[in-house]
Amino acid sequence: MKVIKLLTLIFLVISSVAFAHSGVKDQNVKERMMVMKAMADNTKVIGQMLKRKTQFDANEAKSALERLSSLSLKTPKVFTVNATDPKSEAKPAIWDEFDEFTKLSLELAETSIVLANSIENIEDLRPALKRISSGCKSCHSKYRE
């Protein structure tokens, strides 16, 4: 039951990826969407291993978490410009509360790197994915439509 809930959560986080940024004209918006897509792709690497759709590989999981960390560090940079696009789901509050937005990014960067060092066997993936997903959610629930 718990696993199903977690997988649903992950699916919700990554599901909008495929089509969401097609047709975006603004370069800044495009760039930040690409960073987010990469976040989703790396989260998926871990999700697929957890579901045993791909072979468990501790180094692969660690690399995905390390990439999540550097993408999180990059997040405030790609959101610096208050750019808009009809397809954007970014809430204007980001630029009123940029300190808070930055803090959430840095927290996820920190969590990801701690988790990268925690992966030894397949049992470590589930708690890692759970913490990553809640990091995504803590920002999306505030700053994404």
Rule CB under 6 A: choose which of 40, 61, 78, 129 binds ligand HEC.
40
**98-133 burial, b if ≥16 CB within 10 A, otherwise e?**
eeebbebbeebbebbbebbeebeeeebbeebbeebb
Distance in Å, CB of 45 to ligand HEC, minimum: 11
In a 10 Å sphere around its CB, with 0-12 CB exposed, 13-18 middle and 19+ buried, how is residue 145 labelled?
exposed
Q: 32: Cβ–Cβ under 8 A, 6 or more apart, which residues?
A: 75, 78, 79, 90
Q: Are 108 and 68 in contact (CB under 8 A)?
A: yes
Using CB under 6 A as the criterion, what x/- string covers residues 47-76 for binding ligand HEC?
---------------------x------x-
32 touches ligand HEC by CB under 6 A:
yes
Of 48-56, 57-65, 115-123, 137-145, the segment contacting ligand HEC by CB under 6 A is 137-145
Measured from the CB atom, the residue of 1 and 99 that comes closer to ligand HEC is 99
List residues binding ligand HEC (CB under 6 A). Answer: 13-14, 16-17, 20-21, 29, 32-33, 36-37, 39-40, 43, 68, 75, 88-90, 94, 101, 104-105, 108, 132, 135-136, 139-140, 143-144
